[in-house]
Amino acid sequence: MAKPKVAFYWCASCGGCEEAVVDLAEDILKVVEKVDIVFWPVAMDFKRRDVEGLGDGELAAVFINGAIRTSEQEEMAKLLRRKSRLVVAFGSCAYLGGIPGLANLSSKDAVFETVYKKVPTVVNPEGVVPRTETDVDGFKLKLPDFYDGVRTLAQVIEVDYFLPGCAPPPDLIMEAINKILTGELPEKGSVLAPEKSLCDTCPRRDSKPDKIKISDISRIAYKKIDTDKCFLAEGIICLGPATRSGCGERCINANMPCRGCFGPTREVLDQGGKFLSGLMSIVDTQDEEEIKRIADSVIDPVGLFYMYSLPYSLRMKFLK
Ligand code: SF4
Ligand code: SF4
C-alpha cells in the first residue's frame, strides 16, 4: 500500500523548527518508514513545480513553520493548503507570529531603512532597497513582495492544527505525527499540547505563594535566585501563568524564566494582556507614583509580554 505523502515548508522563521525535525534523531527513521516526504526544501532537492504537480488533497499533511511576511510565503502557503488534507502550523512563528512578528512594531519602510541603510556593517551609498522588479541588462529580475506586516499562518490560510513551541519539542512532534497517522486527532483547530498552564507543571510551583506580592521587578541578569524558587514570587517576570504547558519546562530547568513561546491557554485570548493585568494585580502598593516607577522598570514591555504573540494578539486583530 502506498505510504501517505507529507511535506514540510518554512516561511518567516529562524530555521530552529527545521532543526527540531532533524532533532527527532533516530525517530525520524520511524517517520520515514511510515510516510513519503515529498517536499522539504531545507533538506531535500524538491522544487515548487513538484508541489504544483501534485493533485489537490494528495498530501496527507503539511507542516508549515514560520510566519507570513512575503508574497512568496503566502503563495506557497495557499498552494500547500490546496494540495494537503491537513495543515499543521508548526512552531510559535506559524501559530502566533513569533519573534518575526515583533517587526509589526515598525513599518516596512522603517525596517528597510534600518536593515539596508543604518546598521553600521552595511555599505550602501546609493541607498538601494529590495524591489519586486529590477531591470538588469535588458532582463527583469523579480523578488517576492515584502509585506507591510507579519501575519500568522491562520491569518492567511485555514489551519487544522497548531503545534506550539520555539521550537516544538520532539515528544510533541512525534505525538502529533502518530495522531495524524492513526487518525486519532482532536477537534479541528486544536492546539496539540496540554491545556494546563505552565505554572501547573512547573517544578518550582510549590514555592509559588497563593497570593504573590512584589514591590520591585528585577532582571534575571542582575539577581541570583535559588534554583527551586518561583521566579515571579522573586520579582522576576515569568510568563508561566499566561502560557500553555507542554514544553518540558525547558527554560525553567535551565534557570531561566518563561518567555511564553507555547502561547496562551485556551481561556486566554491575549497572552501579553493577560500577563500584564496579572502582573499589575500583584504589585504591592496603591500609590500611583510607586506603581508608575515599578511599571517603568520593565524594559521593552511589548517585546517582553508579546515576545512570541504580537500578530496573534487582540491588539493586532483589531488593527487588521
Ligand atoms: S511563575 Fe514561572 S517559576 Fe513561578 S511557578 Fe509559574 S512557571 Fe514556575
Ligand atoms: S519555559 Fe516558556 S519560553 Fe521556555 S520553552 Fe517553555 S513555554 Fe517556551
What does the pLDDT look like over 75-119, one tens digit per residue?
Answer: 999 999 999 999 999 999 999 999 999 999 999 999 999 999 999
For the segment 148-162, the average pLDDT, to the nearest whole number, is 97
Residues 54 and 164 in one domain: yes
pLDDT at 315: 65
Residues 26 and 95 in one domain: yes
Residues 73 and 220 in one domain: no
Q: What CATH number is attached to the domain comprising 77? A: 3.40.50.700
Let me know if residue 76 belongs to a domain. Answer: yes
Residues 25 and 93 in one domain: yes
The residue whose CA is least distant from atom 4 of ligand 1 is 230
Residues 28 and 160 in one domain: yes
Is residue 56 within 8 A of residue 1, CB to CB? The reply is: no
Is residue 207 within 8 A of residue 287, CB to CB? The reply is: no
Residues 70 and 168 in one domain: yes
Let me know if residue 187 belongs to a domain. Answer: no
Residues 308 and 208 in one domain: yes
The residue whose CA is least distant from atom 7 of ligand 1 is 240
What residues have CB less than 8 Å from 301, skipping those under 6 apart? 276, 295
Give the distance (Å) from ligand 1 centre to CA of residue 203. 8
Let me know if residue 54 belongs to a domain. Answer: yes
Let me know if residue 191 belongs to a domain. Answer: no
Overall number of domains in the chain:
3
Ligand 2 contact, 118 CB (< 6 A): no
Longest dimension (CA), the chain: 71
Let me know if residue 192 belongs to a domain. Answer: no
pLDDT grade, residue 225 (50/70/90)? confident
Q: Spell out the alpha helix ranges (H) of 60-188.
A: 71-83, 92-96, 108-113, 170-182
C-alpha cell read off for 236: 522576576
Residues 62 and 153 in one domain: yes
Quick one: CA dihedral 154, 160, 91, 196, positive or negative? positive
Ligand 2 contact, 173 CB (< 6 A): no
> Can you give the residue range of the structural domain that contains 122?
107-147
Ligand 2 contact, 258 CB (< 6 A): yes
Q: Which ligand is nearest to the CA of 207?
A: 1
Give ligand 1 pocket residues (Cβ under 6 A): 198-199, 202, 204-205, 208, 230-232, 238, 240-241, 252, 257-258
Residues 59 and 126 in one domain: no
3-state secondary structure 1-48: CCCCEEEEEECECCCHHHHHHHCCCCHHHHHHHHCEEEECCCCCCCCH
List Cβ<8 Å contacts ≥24 apart for 25-28: 25/170, 27/170, 27/174
Q: How far is Cα 16 from Cα 311, in angstroms, rounded to an integer?
A: 20
Residues 82 and 44 in one domain: yes
> Which atom number of ligand 2 is nearest to the Cα of residue 244?
7
Quick one: CA dihedral 283, 289, 294, 295, positive or negative? positive
Q: What is the pTM of this model?
A: 0.93
Q: Cell 515584502 appears where?
A: 146
Q: Spell out the alpha helix ranges (H) of 149-227.
A: 170-182, 198-201
Residues 43 and 132 in one domain: no
Q: Is pLDDT larger for residue 27 or for residue 74?
A: 74
Q: How far is Cα 125 from Cα 117, in angstroms, rounded to an integer?
A: 8
The residue whose CA is least distant from atom 3 of ligand 1 is 230
Residues 12 and 119 in one domain: no
pLDDT at 33: 86
